[in-house]
A = this chain, B = another copy of it.
């Protein structure tokens, strides 16, 4: 699975940064988080298709996180999408999209399912689920966690052969966590041959927020935390007043949550190059990067 950042700017676009959005490609399915204006343009540049199985998760209804949605839906329709599109987000999202459809005629050619959600599991698929928690912003903002299911542990064929388990259906049973009986009557348990299940990948995205307990809890042990970081530490008061974050606060949160890696995004247009933010964050949490438009991260 991999992530492509589509827009990494905060509030207003710059020549280098479009508005908030990233896409997680999970085994070919697209999970798009936020959809600021220009998201469809960036998807074209990143050569991400418009016809795939896709879910969109909106954190909050500020323009720079959602105004790309009507245009993206229209382009999907123009390009012949037929698959259902699911869009998740806080209350108000449905009315916003209904209004867009009313005044701008989309000729929608595929099923559009808009789900207004709050805290809890917002979607549960065969191999993953997405969980939401309210973060702390000037308007309701959902932080999301993508949580992959546990994966089967490593199977050791040499141990199987050593214990006399013949290659074939018995191996498969053991891999799926079931004990097997051999012809000689011995019972072999999975843990004799297969390592314990491994936790799946966990990715957490804050949307716009101050550093807060809800995101800290949601991010616990995440493989990757993608957190807004609009201002640098010298503007901590402004950040506090405007319900945004600075590197110190985010890095402390990442450390407390024991996340494996941290990426800062939603960078204010005032930072022509974001080294200041990176250095401030590194003092507290070394495994940190600044998101750049079209940056790809493998997981």
- Once A71-B67, A99-B100 are accepted as A-B contacts, the answer to whether A105 and B61 lie under 8 Å apart by CB is yes
Closest Cβ of chain B to A212, distance in Å, is: 21
Nearest-Cβ distance from residue A234 to partner chain B, whole angstroms: 20
Max count, chain B CB within 10 A of own CB: residue among A11, A41, A99, A106? A41
Question: A66 within 8 Å of B by Cβ?
Answer: yes
Q: B106 and A63: CB pair below 8 A?
A: yes
Residue of B nearest to A12 (CB): B75
Q: Is A211 an interface residue (CB 8 A)?
A: no
Cβ-defined contact, A44 with B103, below 8 A: no
A99-B103, A103-B96 are contacts. A63–B67 as well, Cβ < 8 Å? no
Q: Which residues of B contact A74 (CB under 8 A)?
A: 63-64, 67
Cβ 8 A contact of A92, one of B62, B71, B100, B103: B103
**Other-chain contact of A66, B66, B99, B104 (Cβ < 8 Å):** B104
Q: Which residues on B sit within 8 Å (CB–CB) of A95?
A: 102-103
Q: Which among A11, A71, A79 has the greatest number of chain B C-beta atoms within 10 A?
A: A71
Q: Which B residues touch A96, using CB under 8 A?
A: 99, 103-104
Give 1 or 0 for each of A59-90: 1 = CB within 8 Å of chain B CB: 00111101110110011001100000000000
Among B13, B63, B78, B139, contact of A11 (Cβ-Cβ < 8 Å): B78
Across-interface contacts of A70 in B (CB, < 8 A): 63, 67
Residues in chain B near residue A100, CB distance under 8 A: 99
Given contacts A103-B96, A103-B99, contact A44 B15 (CB under 8 A): yes
Query: For residue A14, which residues in chain B have a CB less than 8 angstroms away from its CB?
Result: 44
Residues of B within 8 A of A79 (CB): 12
Chain B residues whose CB sits within 8 angstroms of the CB of A99 once the complex forms: 96, 99-100, 102-103
Contact between A103 and B61 (Cβ–Cβ < 8 Å)? yes
Q: Chain B residues near A37: list those with CB within 8 A.
A: 37-38, 40-41, 67-68, 71
Task: Give the distance in Å from the alpha carbon of A165 to the alpha carbon of B260 in the complex.
Answer: 86
Contact with B along A105-128 (1 / 0, CB 8 A): 110000000000000000000000
Known: A41-B41, A99-B100. A105 touches B67 (CB 8 A): no
How far is it, in angstroms, between the C-alpha of A106 and the C-alpha of B66 when the chains are bound?
A: 12
By a CB distance below 8 angstroms, the chain B residues around A38 are 37-38, 41
A141 on interface, CB distance cutoff 8 Å? no
Is residue A18 within 8 Å, beta carbon to beta carbon, of the partner chain? yes
Among A31-69, those with CB < 8 Å from B are: 37-38, 40-41, 44-45, 61-64, 66-68
Identify the 8 closest CB pairs spanning chains A and B, nearest first: A99-B99, A96-B103, A37-B71, A63-B74, A13-B41, A67-B71, A63-B104, A12-B75
21 contacts between A and B (CB under 8 A): A11-B75, A12-B40, A12-B44, A12-B75, A13-B40, A13-B75, A14-B44, A15-B45, A18-B41, A19-B71, A37-B37, A37-B40, A37-B41, A37-B67, A61-B103, A64-B71, A67-B74, A92-B103, A96-B104, A99-B100, A105-B139
